């Protein structure tokens, strides 16, 4: 026996996230400052534990038609195959083809914030995405079909009692199509995920932050790699 314990490691990961989120809520006085601190806790979790092919940043998303999303709290995007990411005065602009997932990070969760997250998710999913055929040593693979962009909401607490009861289910199922949320975490209470049959499963208790992280990684694995971006579609915006 070498003293290591996988259950204690996983428990410690969640406990650290929950402690930091709770501290941000209790110690910081200004609502915007609290929100920024909570967002940063989730960002740091993803930056540390997601595989290196993924990046997580607060960013805007742009498509080759020149349309921009609002600022998204957390954008998970490809960096291995993405040919460019724009940086301007501290702001990051991610091409729509490079996006794997987007999340809104809030101090608490309620119906209004679920609806807000749904609108943010839908605004990114409705952006145009290109996909080119892929050259390889033996020829050319056909253009990759566009994988779905994952969307969700992350919080520390809930305004509902119980936190993962019927009110949350009703808020999640009120909107469908491009606005649907796929997964989320309420760190103090549990996590949830959308199934293949478009129903929602709720997982109260346990170690929600760790459970969410593993669920997210599994979903990202199933989506494989982003499509090959048509860089010339963006180049058309160059001034003559």
Average pLDDT across each block of 10 residues of the chain; the chain has 240 residues. List them in order. Answer: 75 82 65 68 91 93 95 92 82 94 95 96 96 85 89 96 96 90 96 92 92 94 86 84
Domain that holds residue 107: 9-229
pLDDT for residue 122: 95
Within a domain: 2: no
pLDDT, residue 33, reads: 54
pLDDT for the residue 193 = 97
Domains identified in the chain, total number: 1
Domain-embedded: residue 234: no
pLDDT for the residue 19: 82
User: What pLDDT score was predicted for residue 240?
Assistant: 64
Residue of 73, 78, 182, 215 marked active site: 73
Residue in 39, 104, 179, 215 annotated catalytic: 104
For residue 19, give every residue at least 6 positions away whose Cβ sits within 8 Å of its Cβ, in sequence order, or none: none
Is residue 106 annotated as a catalytic residue, yes or no? yes
Q: Is 104 a catalytic residue?
A: yes
Domain-located, residue 156: yes
In a domain, residue 17? The reply is yes
Please give the model's pTM, rounded to 2 decimal places: 0.89
């Amino acid at each position: 026996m070498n003293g290591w314990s996988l259950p204690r490691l996983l428990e410690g990961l969640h406990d650290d996230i929950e402690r930091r989120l709770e501290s941000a809520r209790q110690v910081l006085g200004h609502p915007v400052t609290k929100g920024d601190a909570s967002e940063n806790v989730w960002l740091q979790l993803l930056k540390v534990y997601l595989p290196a092919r993924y990046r997580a940043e607060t960013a805007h998303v742009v498509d080759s038609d020149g349309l921009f999303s609002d600022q998204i709290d957390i954008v998970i995007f490809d960096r291995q195959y993405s040919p460019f990411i724009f940086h301007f005065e501290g702001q990051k602009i991610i091409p729509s083809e490079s996006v794997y997932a987007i999340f809104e990070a809030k101090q608490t969760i309620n119906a209004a914030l679920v609806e807000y997250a749904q609108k943010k998710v839908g605004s990114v999913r409705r952006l145009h995405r290109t996909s080119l055929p892929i050259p390889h040593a033996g020829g050319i693979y056909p253009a990759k079909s566009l994988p779905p962009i994952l969307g969700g909401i992350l919080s520390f607490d809930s305004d509902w009692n119980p936190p993962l009861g019927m009110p949350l289910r009703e808020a999640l199922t009120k909107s469908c199509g491009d606005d649907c949320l796929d997964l989320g975490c309420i760190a103090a209470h549990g996590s949830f995920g959308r199934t293949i049959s478009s129903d929602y499963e709720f997982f109260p208790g346990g170690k929600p932050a760790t459970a969410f992280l593993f669920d997210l990684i599994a979903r990202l694995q199933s989506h494989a790699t982003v499509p090959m971006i048509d860089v010339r579609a963006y180049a058309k915006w160059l001034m003559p």
